[in-house]
Amino acid sequence: MSSNAFPRLTAEEAAELINHNDFVAMSGFTAAGAAKAVPRAIAKRATALHEQGKPFQIRVITGASTGESLDDRLAEADAVSWRAPYQSSKSMRQRINAGKVAFVDMHLSHVPQSVLFGFFGKVNVAVIEASEITKDGKVYLTTSIGASPTFLKTADKVIIELNKRPSRRISDMADIVIPEPPPHRPALSLQHPLQRIGKTYAQVDPSKVLGIVETDEPDELGGFADPDEMSVAIASHVVSFLSKELAEGRIPPEFLPLQSGVGNVANAVTKSMGDSPDIPDFLMYTEVLQSAAFDLLRSGRLRGASTCALTLMPEQMIELADNMNYFANRMILRPQEISNNPAAVRQLGVIALNTALEADIYGHANSTHVSGSAIMNGIGGSGDFARNAYLSVFFCPSIAKGGKISTIVPMCTHVDHNEHSVQVIVTEQGLADLRGLAPEARAERIIECCAHPDYRPYLRQYVKDSKSSHIRHDLEHCFDLHKCLAETGSMLPS
């Protein structure tokens, strides 16, 4: 094997090469393709050093969220001082919200170029999972591309986790290009989600490679729940709306590529799209390909998908490896600055389907901060897509925590997607199409179509009592629901 050109290291030896305060870039876009053995060893090293009273913390950047071996182990070992751009780990979230990790929540399409431009300083070490590295520095990545090509290009030193578990042929699906920096950045030539514009490998200067850690591990992915009543209701509103748009000619007959966010509701929406006789076979231009989309690819309902990561169930990974000729013609794995590229999203006319924690009666959406303060995961790619989409849809259940929280509120406590980027809001109660509506009409439609019936009277009254202006708000009372939640544990105490 050509990778024999590089020294073999144990994960522990690799961890010894990383210093306190280093800026470390690691592969991973979701748990797919995330570094595993080296971050686990870094966590152990940090714990040992802390026990000796020595400081050891690193600054960590990845493509997006990662698996347990990375975010959970490093957070538990108190080994991270700074983290970007997205995480979905309970341990990491707790440390961020306790003020112990400085977290920078970023649009995912910005990550590679921010690193390339040097916005966060020099990357000291990149730890990248790959299925092969050749002696001239071609790196074949695994189940996600993320920001790894840029990390490999910009880091001073590189450690490769050579994982033999994922099929080497996964990289047949890779299409890797790093856009030149401005001011002479050429336009992306993407007229179709499945168009190839790059190479199947990333490139590294071989002299930077400190060594290879051999691994044999699956991605640490959680499963998906079967769609519940809530997800099915939301999905059916979305599908009816898109079918109507198609029937009335506002979506072209061949349909438009879909982006679908993370989580169970997004998975249920994708599944319902496939089940609907009114939706033609379609394409996806998305950042995460989840299990429901894989089933549709197999059945042919999904004609093809461009993504940045594969978050599939273990049995689907086996099926993928066994049928690579079929899937490799229908899937493309791209770096996140291409999968989430605002120009590509606008050019291809992507329909963006994302989840919010709360939305307000004027159409702003909060996807990240509970009651405006505690981070959940991060904005991820939702803003890359929503702002530039042909149609931008946000959904969430109308209530959370058994009805103690209304997700439809007078004013969002944190705004990730403003009224200009949100065209449709959906809950299990119904769908509010906000296109062309001025603020007062938006409020009425969101309250009547999306809010839970228990909260509608309060929201109607809020609008009525607010000062009349272009947007009716009462600055003294716009957060009363949140205040009530903080004081009593429920937005509407009995």
* Residues with catalytic function: 287
Residue 307 or 316: the one with the smaller Cβ distance to ligand 0RQ is 307
DSSP state of 226: P
* Distance, CA of 225 to CA of 274 (rounded, Å): 18
Beta partners for residue 430, in sequence order: 427
The window from 151-159, 255-263, 272-280, 315-323 that contacts ligand 0RQ (CB under 6 A) reads 255-263
- Examine residue 370 and tell whether it contacts ligand 0RQ (CB under 6 A): yes
The single-letter code of the amino acid at 245 is E
Residue 69 or 260: the one with the smaller Cβ distance to ligand 0RQ is 260
208 is in an annotated binding site: no
The single-letter code of the amino acid at 212 is I
Are the beta carbons of 451 and 460 closer than 8 angstroms?
no
* Distance, CA of 486 to CA of 492 (rounded, Å): 11
- Examine residue 431 and tell whether it contacts ligand 0RQ (CB under 6 A): no
383 is in an annotated binding site: no
Residue 93 or 157: the one with the smaller Cβ distance to ligand 0RQ is 93
401 is in an annotated binding site: yes
Residue 165 or 404: the one with the smaller Cβ distance to ligand 0RQ is 404
- Examine residue 398 and tell whether it contacts ligand 0RQ (CB under 6 A): no
- Total residues contacting ligand 0RQ by CB under 6 A comes to 28
254 by Cβ neighbours in 10 Å (0-12 / 13-18 / 19+) ranks as exposed
As measured in angstroms, the least distance from the Cβ of 75 to ligand 0RQ is 17
Strand 358-360 versus strand 365-366 pairing type: antiparallel
The window from 153-161, 276-284, 395-403, 460-468 that contacts ligand 0RQ (CB under 6 A) reads 395-403
| Encoded tokens for 18 | 């990383």
- Examine residue 163 and tell whether it contacts ligand 0RQ (CB under 6 A): no
Nearest to 397 by CA among 233, 195, 277: 233
- Examine residue 400 and tell whether it contacts ligand 0RQ (CB under 6 A): yes
118 is in an annotated binding site: no
- Examine residue 401 and tell whether it contacts ligand 0RQ (CB under 6 A): yes
Task: Report whether the peptide linkage leading into residue 280 is cis, meaning its omega lies within 30 degrees of zero.
Answer: no
Residue 77 or 333: the one with the smaller Cβ distance to ligand 0RQ is 333
Write the binding mask 131 to 150 for ligand 0RQ: x where contact by CB under 6 A, - elsewhere.
Answer: --------------------
* Distance, CA of 153 to CA of 202 (rounded, Å): 9
* Distance, CA of 138 to CA of 220 (rounded, Å): 26
Helices 439-450, 456-465: axis angle to 10 degrees equals 160
Residue 343 or 376: the one with the smaller Cβ distance to ligand 0RQ is 376
CA–CA distance from 339 to each of 33, 145, 147, 243, 252 (Å)?
16, 10, 11, 25, 22
Of positions 358, 360, 419, 428, contacts ligand 0RQ by CB under 6 A: 358
Of positions 25, 147, 210, 405, contacts ligand 0RQ by CB under 6 A: 405
* Number of CB atoms found within 10 A of residue 493's CB: 10
Are the beta carbons of 292 and 267 closer than 8 angstroms?
yes
Site for ligand 0RQ in 265-294 (CB under 6 A): 265, 287-288
Of positions 355, 421, 427, 429, contacts ligand 0RQ by CB under 6 A: 355
* Distance, CA of 377 to CA of 92 (rounded, Å): 10
Of positions 39, 335, 381, 439, contacts ligand 0RQ by CB under 6 A: 381
- Examine residue 382 and tell whether it contacts ligand 0RQ (CB under 6 A): yes
Are the beta carbons of 332 and 177 closer than 8 angstroms?
no
Give the up-direction half-sphere exposure of residue 78: CA atoms within 13 A in the CB hemisphere.
12
- Examine residue 112 and tell whether it contacts ligand 0RQ (CB under 6 A): no
Residue 3 or 311: the one with the smaller Cβ distance to ligand 0RQ is 311
- Examine residue 423 and tell whether it contacts ligand 0RQ (CB under 6 A): no
Q: Which residues contact 255 (CB under 8 A, 6 or more apart)?
A: 246, 279, 280, 281, 282, 283
| Encoded tokens for 359 | 């939305």
As measured in angstroms, the least distance from the Cβ of 47 to ligand 0RQ is 28
Residue 126 or 399: the one with the smaller Cβ distance to ligand 0RQ is 399
- Examine residue 58 and tell whether it contacts ligand 0RQ (CB under 6 A): no
The window from 95-103, 214-222, 259-267, 471-479 that contacts ligand 0RQ (CB under 6 A) reads 259-267
- What is the secondary structure of 399-463 as a DSSP string? EEGGGTEESEESS-SS-SB-TTT--EEEETTEEEE-TT--HHHHHHHHHHHHS-TTTHHHHHHHH
Please identify the residue of the shown chain whose CB is closest to the bound ligand 0RQ: 380
Write the binding mask 23 to 42 for ligand 0RQ: x where contact by CB under 6 A, - elsewhere.
Answer: -------x------------
Helices (H), 258-290: 264-275
* Distance, CA of 304 to CA of 389 (rounded, Å): 19
262 is in an annotated binding site: yes
As measured in angstroms, the least distance from the Cβ of 110 to ligand 0RQ is 12
Map residue 335 onto helix, strand or coil. strand
Binding site residue list: 261-265, 377, 381, 401
Q: Which residues would be at the binding site for ligand 0RQ (CB under 6 A)?
A: 30, 64, 86, 108, 261-263, 265, 287-288, 354-358, 367, 370, 376-377, 379-382, 397, 400-401, 405, 407
Binding site residue list for CoA: 261-265, 377, 381, 401
